Amino acid sequence: MKVLLGTGNPAKLQEMREILGEIPGIEWVSALDLNLPEPPEEGKTLEENAILKAVLYAKSSGLPAIAEDTGLEVAALSGAPGVLSSRFAGKEKDYAANNKKLLELLAGAADRTARFRTVAVLALPDGRFWTS
């Protein structure tokens, strides 16, 4: 059975393949293999983005699809940047600018506790999905 790994990001694709490993009877294919466009990340939460991506990839490919969204959540910023992590300093997805903005906002903050949170979703072509 083919299962689509729903990302157009080569680094994320490699990470997903490493995490999932080899499963007897499963052939991992990627959105890149099928030339599928990356869905827009229009959700207001990590969950919404992961669901949107998985469902769109499953419907457009006709295959079960796994997609995810990850964000950095900083306690001193009430969980920000969260879903906006990759676009924190602007739409360009500039990691250096994102880090600079984050450090500026955290200047003088006593609590710099932060975590990366990932939401993964498995979706079927009929629109059903499951989140983790």
Catalytic residues: 69
* Nearest C-alpha neighbor of 52 from the set 65, 39, 71: 39
* Nearest C-alpha neighbor of 88 from the set 96, 98, 78: 98
DSSP 69: E
Number of H helices, E strands in the chain: 3, 6
Q: CB of 52 within 8 A of CB of 39? A: yes
* Nearest C-alpha neighbor of 82 from the set 40, 50, 34: 50
